[in-house]
Chain A
């Protein structure tokens, strides 16, 4: 699906990624965990071609060029850079993802509306279609961003700390939703996350990153006190309550 071999990257002489090699298995939920500044977001940006590594290789979908790989990838950032004055509606925002609706400004909306309503209904938020994107709550925005990504039926979905602006109950619902979406669409999902208990519950494979890959494996293998100490540098409890087998 996607792999990196020996990625190295430094900003202003400060090493951010050191010899990072990982292989993302197909159709699994993969969690990328690590403390702040451990290079998780940078690694995601390298995978997307937004940041060139100093050395190392990235292979997407068997080594096809980035330009051909990108249409097969969905990306959910932490937030949008929208000004509150920007009155882009959810409906208009979603239309931007579809090549067929590149000229949404001139289009008759009938067929399009049906498709967008379906996409939003899948995530339980079709009532948001006519709301301005800039006025959505953190949880609502994440759902809209996932709907946006799913419109192109991606094979790989990358989520960068998707619950950063979401409250605790919302976070729980959000991870349940990701599991459902994954089960339905059978894509690979990469989650950058801080929440170890949620990772334990929902991920199939975990990579612990702290500049370099400290350890990886199933949540049971990675999320023990010793591995986490290596990743986080201090004693951390995985706190895996309500654990169910996948």
Chain B
């Protein structure tokens, strides 16, 4: 249980922090593509008999992200088309591989889809902790350049920012976070974890500074209360965390008119 809380405490705010930039840069579908790629990673992990699928998921997600960037830069295909191609390709690859292996993997697939934070091991907590540290340091030390490339990449270039390099680093951070978070909330619910805290915070914020702080707070509250809810109801963790998040979103939506009235 403590491990579950720790993983939620590390990963939920991380998703929220990246989510502020994911939403502003319209990259939600990118998160979705990487998350679905995890099915291929899990299948490979099981195929090679790994104790925990996380390393295989991370590697497979990197392969999907690299393919996405390569296709985007070297073909004239629309980004949406590339993502749809990789998303469906990853799922199909994973499902065929699982199907060809001996044994019953229905339980595994359920856990992949909806998350199984209550079964996390010490290694998962360590990976989540290291990821939290690395990605937070990266985002907070590059907050200005990240914000500027979200606003206008050409202006960022003129301001001396190495735009391409920073874009790659952001994609790397996002891919890692999504791949590791699949263990927490499941493939189907990673994108909501990126998007909903940022959207909830947006309802109450007047500037980016406020939005970042509120997103982090909302993510921590929904992560911890979601895990507690899942534990007490013996339900999958992902839906419990996301449902709490949606509840907080509705609350912020209701508070919005009140806040506007008090400001005017």
Contact = CB atoms under 8 A, between A and B. Distances in A.
A88 B147 contact: yes
Contacts of A74: 158
Contacts of B108: none
Given A104-B144, A105-B209, A86 B151 contact: yes
Contacts of B25: 83
A82 B24 contact: yes
Given A89-B208, A92-B208, A105-B212, A48 B158 contact: yes
B151 A93 contact: yes
A45 B158 CA distance: 10
B192 to A, nearest CB: 16
Contact of A80 (B23, B151, B160): B151
Contact of B205 (A48, A87, A91): A87
B70 interface: no
B100 interface: no
Contacts of B159: 70, 96-97
B205 to A, nearest CB: 5
B157 A87 contact: no
Interface string A28-52: 0000000000000000010011100
A105 B143 contact: yes
B207 A48 contact: no
Interface in B139-173: 140, 143-144, 147-148, 150-155, 157-160
A77 interface: yes
A91 B151 contact: no
A145 B148 CA distance: 12
Interface string B127-149: 00000000000001001100110
Contacts of B26: 83
A71 interface: yes
Contacts of B147: 88, 92, 96
B160 A70 contact: yes
A80 B144 contact: no
A145 B157 CA distance: 15
A213 interface: no
B97 to A, nearest CB: 37
Given A96-B148, A97-B159, A103-B143, A89 B206 contact: yes
Report the contact-size class of chain A (Cβ under 8 Å from the partner).
35 or more
Contacts of B144: 95-96, 101-104
B153 A81 contact: yes
Contact of A50 (B154, B202, B206, B211): B154
Contacts of B24: 82-83, 85-86, 88
A75 B159 CA distance: 9
A87 B206 CA distance: 7
A88 B207 contact: yes
Contacts of B157: 48-50, 70
Contacts of A244: none
Given A71-B160, A87-B202, A48 B154 contact: yes
A241 interface: no
A75 B24 CA distance: 22
Interface in A51-95: 67, 70-71, 73-75, 77, 80-83, 85-89, 91-93, 95
A105 to B, nearest CB: 5
Interface in B203-230: 205-212
A74 B159 CA distance: 9
A89 B202 CA distance: 12
Given A80-B151, A81-B152, A82-B151, A87 B158 contact: no
Contact of A105 (B140, B150, B206): B140
A130 B210 CA distance: 13
B26 to A, nearest CB: 6
Interface of B: 23-26, 140, 143-144, 147-148, 150-155, 157-160, 199, 202, 205-212
29 contacts: A45-B154, A48-B157, A48-B158, A50-B154, A71-B160, A74-B158, A80-B151, A81-B152, A81-B153, A82-B24, A83-B23, A85-B199, A86-B24, A87-B210, A88-B24, A88-B147, A88-B150, A88-B151, A88-B207, A89-B207, A92-B209, A95-B144, A96-B144, A104-B143, A104-B144, A104-B209, A105-B209, A105-B212, A130-B206
